[in-house]
């Protein structure tokens, strides 16, 4: 699998983003949150959008830095998500803290978040 983030994987549809936040489910690994929904209208197996709230980072250059880090972490670790997906999904990756993590820490948290997403449907051992 290529470590790319092509234009076709970028989530841009306003309708899909609205669907994500109205009926999507989420998985969290502080300070990251992954909101997801099955996306039957798209041909791409997964689409991802990235968001950093103005509430936590007032300056645009700070928000842009964290969005860049999130996209890079996704690009390098998307194989973790793709291997478990059978149907097309839309994702929104959110950074939800004013804590300033390094890019290595963001990468580590992203891996943990993707693994938690993959384990969500598995039955819990008794």
pLDDT in tens, 39-82: 877 677 889 999 999 999 999 999 999 999 999 999 999 899 88
Q: 11-114 belongs to which CATH class?
A: alpha beta
Domain ranges of the chain: 11-114
User: pLDDT of 91-108, one tens digit each?
Assistant: 999 999 999 999 999 999
User: Does 26 sit behind a cis peptide bond, omega within 30 degrees of 0 on the bond before it?
Assistant: no
pLDDT of the residue at 33: 95
Q: Is the distance from CB of 16 to CB of 66 less than 8 angstroms?
A: no
Nearest to 98 by CA among 63, 50, 60, 46: 63
Look up the pTM and report it.
0.87
Torsion, CA 94, CA 81, CA 65, CA 99, rounded to 10: 50
């Amino acid at each position: 699998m290529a470590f790319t983030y092509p234009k076709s994987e970028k989530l841009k549809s306003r309708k899909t983003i609205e669907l994500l936040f109205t009926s999507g489910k989420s998985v969290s690994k502080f300070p990251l949150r992954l909101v997801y929904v099955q996306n039957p209208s798209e041909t791409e197996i997964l689409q991802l959008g990235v968001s950093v709230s103005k509430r936590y980072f007032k300056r645009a250059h700070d928000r842009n830095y964290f969005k860049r880090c999130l996209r890079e972490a996704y690009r390098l670790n998307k194989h973790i998500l793709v291997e478990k997906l059978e149907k097309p999904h839309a994702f929104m990756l959110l950074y939800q803290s004013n804590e300033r993590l390094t890019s290595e820490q963001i990468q580590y948290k992203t891996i943990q978040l993707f693994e938690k997403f993959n384990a969500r449907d598995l039955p819990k051992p008794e």
